[in-house]
Structure 1
């Protein structure tokens, strides 16, 4: 299995703007976690972005999460990208 990090770059006042979509975002995250795809995730401090760590054979699960996430769909994420993470200590 490989690890992939989904990076979000967020818009100004992201924390205030996310409120209407937070429950849906967290539900999607919990569902991905229950399927064993999402390992951990959270916003940076200050909240100018976020990172979510996925485990899988390809970046497809991380990409699908971003495409379905209301934060992305509603424009709260100005840019997202996925990078393979070469974990050497687990």
Structure 2
């Protein structure tokens, strides 16, 4: 199955603004990981960017997975890019 790399940005004051959505976000990611749709995901140390790797049949499906996340729906993630990734090893 193709893999897709997510890079994105967080809103200002992310620690405070994410609090109401954090549990739903983490629960959803745990479910997607169990389903094999998320390989890894997390923020940069400075909390300005998010990085993740999704497995999906198409880029459109990968985008749907990102856009259904509570962080995207509630503007915690403020922008993102998706690129198909070829895992060399």
Q: Same fold (TM over 0.5)?
A: yes
1:11-40 deviation per Cα after TM superposition (whole angstroms, max 9, x unaligned): 111122111100000111011111111111
- Structure 1 residue runs of 4 or more that deviate by more than 6 Å after TM superposition: none
Note the residue ranges of structure 1 that are not aligned, 5 or more in a row: none
Q: What is aligned with 2:29?
A: 29
Deviation at 1:47, TM superposition (A): 0.5
Superposed CA RMSD in Å reads 1.4
- Contact map agreement 1:37 1:61 (CA 8 A) in 2: no
1:60-71 aligned at under 5 Å gives the runs 60-71=60-71
Q: What is aligned with 1:6?
A: 6
Deviation at 1:70, TM superposition (A): 1.4
1:36-55 aligned at under 5 Å gives the runs 36-55=36-55
- Change in CA separation of 1:28 and 1:42 when aligned onto 2, cut-off 3 Å: same
User: Aligned pair count?
Assistant: 89
- Change in CA separation of 1:74 and 1:14 when aligned onto 2, cut-off 3 Å: same
Deviation at 1:60, TM superposition (A): 3.5
- Change in CA separation of 1:23 and 1:13 when aligned onto 2, cut-off 3 Å: same
Note the residue ranges of structure 2 that are not aligned, 5 or more in a row: none
TM-score by length of 1: 0.87
- Contact map agreement 1:24 1:70 (CA 8 A) in 2: yes
